[in-house]
Amino acid sequence: MSSFYVTTPIYYVNARPHLGHAYTTIVADAMKRFYRLIGADARMLTGTDEHGDKIVKAATKENKSPKEFVDGISAEFAALWKDLKIDYDQFIRTTDENHKKSVQALLQRIYDKGDIYYGEYGGHYCFGCERFYTEKELEDGLCPQHKTKPEYISEKNYFFKMSKYQEWLKQYILDNSDFIRPERYRNEVLAMLEGNVLEDLCISRPKSRLEWGIELPFDKDYVCYVWFDALANYISALGWGNSGDLSLYEKYWPAEHLVAKDILKPHGIFWPTMLKAADLPVYRHLNVHGYWLVKDTKMSKSLGNVVDPRFASEHFGLDAFRYFLLRDMHFGSDASYSEEALITRINSDLSNDLGNLFSRVLSMNAKYFEGQIPALGDLTADDEQIFASVDNAAQNYIQLFKEVRFSYALDGLWEPIRLMNKYVDSQAPWTLYKEGKTERLACVIRVLMENMYKIAVLLYPVMPESSEKMQAQLGKEFILHTKLIDDLLTCRVHLRTGAAVSGASNLFPRFEKPAEEKPADIKTNKQGKQKKEPAPKTDDNTEKGLIEFADFQKLDLRVGTILAAEQHPDADKLLRFDVDLGEDTPRQIISGIAEHFKPSELVGRKVVVVANLPPRKLRGLVSHGMILTAEKEDHLSLLDSSAPNGAKIS
């Protein structure tokens, strides 16, 4: 594939952007970046849909003209995409003059073919959907989307002979198994085609009822139905029907469409039959995703549960937010959003796994090789396993990304990341250093760095800024070129021996989960005024500084081994440690003992850690515990133990 064209829906501007819009657009951005990564000339389109009844109603409610209203909301979408650093190539608006020309050209072409006719129709019209429903489509007499009773309208309009293309569309979907994906939505469209006789589509609205739309080229008393107008944006953006230059259309069409499941029918039935009637190629794939739910409920302004994507990306970091969205939604299914779920994913995958790997390897390389990339040397079976794991994960990642199975792609890529963390523990570079096995130590560090580089490159579509930072920390500048992925998959050595690399990494700080606030114990006096309860009386033991045994039992004291130690980058008195407490991944602990110990003296030392303290940020780094020390006459000693890592002191 030399070119690739991905589109989002053009978002309807009767309401402001929310998490659902952000998800679709971030996925499109990730797909564009992915195809650029594998060597394609990739293009992305997004924009806003600005005609129809609902726009007029929303504008009237705010005492604005339709044009004033759509200009404001469209600008909000464009501003959000800028803040989310979406790398789109074009932002289209259905009020653009070129788009209007294209819609009229499409209408005229289908009209001239005899597939648009004038007739009278009476039907159940939902103003929320801006479409007519048949009796069969209603659920207990209500619109299946809005659960409101449609208004029965009878009027003369223009109709598209959609029924003419029912059998063609059905057969096309059967012959092309991945035309609509995931499969459940392909089956849903087939059920629509098999369960009902496809009716002709009303594609106009009389100006006597609605003027805010694109005028029909063959009848100035009518405007175009909003869906027929909106769907044409995918080709109007490429210049079809509005200019003499078809170079973009010929280069990039057919497209990959991304839509949410609520607009499956217009994209799965209306649009392909419109293209067929106009003798144009249909799109390559229709990729359909589910909803983001909040507490198992669809986001709704009336419920007050609409998630602001700008706040989430600013508070937790844009790349972490992008990773969460692609990792936690299995494309096609609904997914639940909460800050707790987002924090859990960040702490587990990004901080504990990926961030910890970069932090410990770069700090050990700084200690053992003065921040320069060591030579690779002879590989052992353990080393070969790391290379094989990353190469296999890379192949699967690329295939799954092409299949829009983003969550599975990322899950598979995390297997070698976790394996590399275990490899660090099993190879024990600190022991190799103590024993003077410099060549083997160099090989271990280099194996890790080469494969960390591959992971960093593969993560570019999902976390572009973090990917570039990780590569820079490994001494590589990120340059996209057509052979990048081929080189990544076929070559083992990508880093230059002796090149300088970063001595530390802290890309993904941990976050604390929001704590529940307990209401103060407040009572009222006889006058109804609030009064604070007096502090509880203390017993003699408390006054003497003694504690109850139950208080001691609250402490979780555990034995661990210091795997890495280094100076805090922003504080002279603090040291940063990676400590193995027998858990899946080492803990980062910050301790104010730099005046008493050199970091090089502490690697491999046994320590006792208070393991159940809440995380605390110290000068930009989060500490997950406290290393216990003993002090006498200005002399500081570490408490240690011969017990195994993770052993609890009681």
**Contact in structure between 304 and 334 (CB atoms under 8 Å):** no
Token pair in block for residue 432: 């190799």
Q: Other CB atoms closer than 10 Å to residue 167's CB: what's the count?
A: 11
Determine the angle formed by the axes of helices 66-83 and 309-316, rounding to 10 degrees: 20
Task: For residues 196 and 200, give the distance between their C-alpha atoms in angstroms, rounded to a whole number.
Answer: 12
Known catalytic residue at 330: no
Amino acid at position 469, single letter:
K
Conformational region of residue 578, where left means phi above 0, alpha means psi within -120 to 50, and beta covers everything else: beta
Catalytic residue among 61, 82, 113, 146: 146
Task: For residues 218 and 116, give the distance between their C-alpha atoms in angstroms, rounded to a whole number.
Answer: 11
Known catalytic residue at 124: no
Q: What is the dihedral of CA 463, 423, 415, 1, to 10 degrees?
A: 60
Known catalytic residue at 267: no
Known catalytic residue at 443: no
Conformational region of residue 84, where left means phi above 0, alpha means psi within -120 to 50, and beta covers everything else: alpha
Query: If DSSP codes are grouped into helix, strand and coil, which group holds residue 243?
Result: coil
Cα 364 to its chain centre, rounded Å, is 32
Q: Is 64 buried (19+), middle (13-18) or exposed (0-12) by CB count in 10 A? A: middle
Edge-to-edge strand ranges of the sheet holding 292-294: 297-298, 292-294, 335-336
Task: For residues 542 and 269, give the distance between their C-alpha atoms in angstroms, rounded to a whole number.
Answer: 75
Residue entry with tokens 């295939």: 399
Token pair in block for residue 248: 């973009």
Catalytic residue among 54, 100, 129, 476: 129
Token pair in block for residue 253: 């069409």
Catalytic residue among 156, 298, 434, 617: 298
The full length of the chain comes to: 650
**Contact in structure between 643 and 581 (CB atoms under 8 Å):** no
Catalytic residue among 82, 156, 301, 315: 301
Determine the angle formed by the axes of helices 166-175 and 183-195, rounding to 10 degrees: 150
Known catalytic residue at 21: yes
Query: If DSSP codes are grouped into helix, strand and coil, which group holds residue 515?
Result: coil
**What DSSP designation does 46 have?**
E
**Contact in structure between 48 and 70 (CB atoms under 8 Å):** yes
Known catalytic residue at 481: no
Q: For residue 283, which phi and psi values (nearest 5 degrees)?
A: -65, 165
Amino acid at position 124, single letter:
H
Known catalytic residue at 51: no
Determine the angle formed by the axes of helices 464-473 and 356-369, rounding to 10 degrees: 20
Amino acid at position 420, single letter:
M
**Contact in structure between 433 and 441 (CB atoms under 8 Å):** yes
Catalytic residue among 54, 100, 124, 126: 126
Catalytic residue among 32, 99, 143, 443: 143
Query: If DSSP codes are grouped into helix, strand and coil, which group holds residue 520?
Result: coil
Which residues are marked as active site?
Answer: 18, 21, 126, 129, 143, 146, 298, 301
